[in-house]
Each structure stands twice: as C-alpha cells, then as structure tokens.
C-alpha cells in the first residue's frame, strides 16, 4: 500500500481536534497568510477555540516565528515541520486545512476535516483538472472541499480546476489582495532609494522550466524573457534604464529554474527573490503596491494586480507555443491581456520611451478586464473567507 493510501486511511480514522493547520508555498505566503493574520487581528473567538498552526517546508521554526512576530506584533506562534512525525500528527488531527497548494496530493480529507484550498491565484494558464491529459503533469491532483474565486467567471473556472460544485467556490476575492492595502510600506523596506527614480517597474514572469513541483517545460526555453534579455542585452538595457532614470526590479517565479541562476544586477536592474522578502518580513503584494508598472507574461499575478488600477505590460514572444503546450483558460488569450505586448528588445526600448502614452491607451481595456476578472477590490477578502468558514453569527460553519 502506497504512502498516500496509508495516510488517507489514517486520516479517516484519526480523531479530529480544534486545530486549523496553515500551509503555503513558499512558506508563510499568500492567501493562507492573509487569512491567518486576519484571524489574529479580528477573530478572538477563533484564537480562543482553535490551535492555529503553521506547517513549514523550508523555513526553520525559529525563522518562521521571527517573520510572523515581525508582521503581527504577536510574539508566540505555533509551527511544525510539515513532513516530520509531529507535522503528520498535526495533519491527522486538524479539523481545517487552509492551504495555497496541495497539502499531501491525492490524500482526501475525511468527513471531519475541511480542506479549504485558498489557492495561489486565479489561473490564466491551465491548472489542476484542466491539465488532466497533460503529459507533463503528475497523476496526482490537488483535492479541495472548497476554494475561493474573484468573480463569477472565475467561479466557473475554479469549479473545473478542482472538480467541485459551484456552491463550494466562494465569491470572496483573494485574501492576498488585502496586502495591497499596505500603501507601499513593504516596498519602502525593499527599495529605500525608490524616490531617486522616475519610474519603478517590476517584472514577474511565470516559469518556462520548473524545478519544483511538476517538473515541466512550458513553451520554448529560449523565448524572449529574463534570461535571454539579460544574457544578450544587459549592458544596453542598463544604459537605457539609466538614461531614462528607471529602476527595473525582477522577481523570478519561485518554481523557475531562474531562481537557481545568478543573474546580473546593477543600480537600475535588481533581482528580488523570496528569501529577500522573507528576510524583510514583507509579502510580495505589499512590495508590488509601491511599483508603478507590472511587467509579466501569463502569470496570474496580473489578475491580482488589476485591483491597483496600475498599468500592465506583457513581455512574451511565445503566445502560440505556450498555448499549444500548457494552454490557457481563455481563447483567444490576447483578448484578455490588457496591456502592451513586448515581444523583443527593440519593442521594450520603444515601450520605455513612450510608456505613459502607451499605458494610457490601455486604461479602458484594463478596467473592462478588471470588472470581468477581479471586481472585488475593497481589501476585505480575508474577512469574507473567514465569515464563510467560521461565521460570527449563529449560522453553521461550512460543511463538506
């Protein structure tokens, strides 16, 4: 009997306790962290009733407590190594799992346990069960008892991603979007000299070759992107940015092979990794809140960034190849990408020269897509998620 099967059997037999187990990739991140911090701030009833525990994969327990304490002002936090004996015990005991990714893929939660998959983004490229016939995807699929969506359109998509009924997909918005209310404080920690520059651009590409999770290649690895641009045009780009007094920040995807590469940097080109954000106890969207323009490709980050009403540009030259390999949730995908398409270096320089004019031309389209993808921008998504899972009134909590 395989390990997942054994764990599923044990999970069905093990008595559940008043435990909410949080987990994310990377550790202490995204929607799961937003829900956790909201509970600490606003829900003393949940703090008193439940043990709130973070299951960690990469961070040490001491480092996790340091980050959580710095962020919340609360000194005591419960953490556990996810795959340790104690971590597995806590998993078996938990009444609730609040996770951004599959906790233990293919391990079903029994009747007494709620797997609340708060997920890690509204998908633009195909994910989950939309990839069931994809040769690059492992046979296991993330399970969920419920999840959230940012709009009616995404409610339909997330039903298919997890294979769950519509009523199990909550229209709440994404809790991590609450971090945009930071008003640039996290950004100031990461870029203390930001006022020196006329514009700050942040480039967040999705991966073409992953080295974590499903090991796969989506689209040509030599497509126009971070590695090809910096290897072929670094000096030219650095000079162009300096001439225009622009700062370009690059944040590789945490699953991308780029995270294992040493990328060149300068005053005007800087690379930010998850470790840098963790060291400063800053969330990615707190960091993004201070940036002037988002540059990306098919990453779901652009869907979240829509709530800021700031410009977006799409740096990619492999739309057709990526669509034929990984595939998209929308057809044709370009109709749902509300920003300038930058397919090569020359187009990037033209964009830098006419940025304000080009971006202004996309304002109406961007707001149209915002209404379709992400109309909830009141920074109360964490509250809505908690009110559904654990209502304040006499209503019953969410049931499987």
User: Any idea what the CATH number is for the domain that residue 26 is in?
Assistant: 3.40.50.11820
Domain that holds residue 150: 3-173+379-389
User: What's the rounded Cα separation, in Å, for the pair 385 and 173?
Assistant: 9
Q: Do 162 and 128 touch, CB atoms closer than 8 A?
A: yes
User: What's the rounded Cα separation, in Å, for the pair 375 and 370?
Assistant: 6
Q: State the sign of the Cα–Cα–Cα–Cα dihedral 46, 49, 54, 55.
A: negative
Residues 166, 203 within the same domain: no
Residues 7, 138 within the same domain: yes
> Does the residue 394 lie in any domain?
no
Return left, alpha or beta for 330; rule: phi > 0 is left, psi -120 to 50 is alpha, else beta.
beta
Extract the tokens encoding 13: 């037999």
Residues 163, 58 within the same domain: yes
Element (H, E) at 366: helix 363-373
Say yes or no to pLDDT of 158 above 50: yes
In this predicted structure, which of 204-213, 257-266, 349-358 has the lowest mean pLDDT?
Answer: 204-213
Distance set, CA 132 to CA 139, 209, 326 (Å): 8, 19, 11
> Does the residue 400 lie in any domain?
no
Instruction: Please identify which residue in the block is written with the tokens 């040769």.
Output: 135
Distance set, CA 277 to CA 80, 106, 128, 137, 186 (Å): 21, 31, 28, 29, 9
Residue 137 pLDDT:
52
User: What's the rounded Cα separation, in Å, for the pair 139 and 143?
Assistant: 13
User: What's the rounded Cα separation, in Å, for the pair 130 and 157?
Assistant: 9
> Tell me, what CATH number does 341's domain have?
3.40.50.12580
Residues 139, 230 within the same domain: no
Residues 263, 297 within the same domain: yes
User: What's the rounded Cα separation, in Å, for the pair 366 and 99?
Assistant: 30
User: What's the rounded Cα separation, in Å, for the pair 127 and 255?
Assistant: 15
Residue 253 pLDDT:
66
Residue 216 pLDDT:
43
Q: How confident is the model at residue 161 (pLDDT cuts 50, 70, 90)?
A: very high
Strands (E) in the chain, as ranges, are 17-23, 51-56, 78-81, 94-99, 114-117, 146-149, 169-171, 199-204, 246-250, 269-271, 293-296, 312-315, 340-342
Element (H, E) at 372: helix 363-373
Extract the tokens encoding 195: 């006022």
Element (H, E) at 277: helix 274-279
First to last CA, the chain: 27
Residue 139 pLDDT:
47
What average pLDDT score do residues 91-119 get?
A: 92
Mean pLDDT (the chain, rounded): 90
> Does the residue 91 lie in any domain?
yes
The phi, psi pair for 312, rounded to 5°, reads: -130, 140
pLDDT in tens, 128-157: 899 876 544 544 567 899 999 999 999 999
Q: How confident is the model at residue 212 (pLDDT cuts 50, 70, 90)?
A: very low
Paired with 169 in beta bridges are 147
Say yes or no to pLDDT of 258 above 70: no
pLDDT in tens, 272-313: 999 999 999 999 999 999 999 999 999 999 999 999 999 999
pLDDT in tens, 39-71: 999 999 999 999 999 999 999 999 999 999 999
> Does the residue 398 lie in any domain?
no
User: What's the rounded Cα separation, in Å, for the pair 215 and 234?
Assistant: 28
Count of structural domains within the chain: 2
Residues 219, 330 within the same domain: yes
């Amino acid at each position: 009997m395989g390990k997942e099967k054994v764990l599923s059997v044990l999970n069905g037999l093990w008595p559940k306790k008043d435990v909410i187990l949080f987990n994310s990739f990377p550790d202490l991140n995204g929607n799961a962290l937003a829900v956790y911090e909201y509970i600490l701030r606003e829900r003393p009833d949940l703090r008193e009733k439940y043990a709130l525990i973070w299951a960690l994969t990469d961070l040490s327990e001491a480092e996790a407590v340091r980050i959580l304490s710095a962020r919340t002002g609360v000194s005591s936090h419960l953490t556990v190594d996810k795959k340790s004996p104690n971590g597995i015990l806590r998993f078996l005991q938990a009444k609730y799992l609040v996770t951004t990714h599959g906790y233990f893929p293919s391990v079903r939660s029994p009747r007494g346990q709620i797997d609340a998959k708060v997920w890690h983004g509204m998908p633009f490229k195909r994910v989950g069960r939309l990839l069931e016939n994809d040769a690059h995807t492992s046979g296991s699929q993330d399970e969920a008892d419920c999840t959230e969506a940012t709009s009616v359109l995404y409610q339909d998509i997330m039903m298919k991603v997890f294979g769950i009924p519509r009523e199990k997909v909550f229209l709440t918005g994404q809790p991590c979007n609450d971090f945009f209310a930071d008003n640039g404080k996290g950004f100031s920690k990461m870029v203390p000299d930001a006022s020196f520059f006329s514009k700050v651009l942040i480039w967040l590409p999705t991966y073409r070759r992953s080295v974590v999770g499903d090991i796969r290649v989506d689209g040509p690895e030599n497509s126009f992107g971070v590695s090809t641009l910096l290897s072929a045009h670094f000096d030219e780009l650095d000079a162009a940015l300096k001439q225009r007094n622009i700062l370009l920040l690059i944040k590789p995807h945490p699953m991308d092979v780029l995270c294992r590469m040493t990328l060149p940097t300068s005053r005007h080109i800087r690379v930010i990794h998850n470790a840098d954000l963790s060291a400063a106890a800053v969330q990615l969207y707190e960091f993004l809140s201070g940036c002037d323009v988002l540059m990306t490709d098919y990453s779901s980050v652009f869907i979240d960034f829509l709530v800021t009403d700031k410009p977006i540009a799409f740096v990619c030259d492999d739309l057709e190849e990526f669509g034929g390999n990984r595939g998209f949730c929308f057809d044709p995908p370009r109709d749902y990408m509300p920003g300038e398409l930058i397919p090569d270096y020359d187009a990037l320089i033209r964009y830098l020269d006419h940025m304000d004019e080009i971006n202004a031309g996309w304002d109406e389209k961007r707001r149209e897509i915002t209404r379709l993808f992400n109309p909830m921008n009141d920074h109360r998504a964490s509250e809505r998620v908690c009110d559904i899972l654990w209502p304040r009134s006499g209503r019953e909590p969410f049931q499987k």
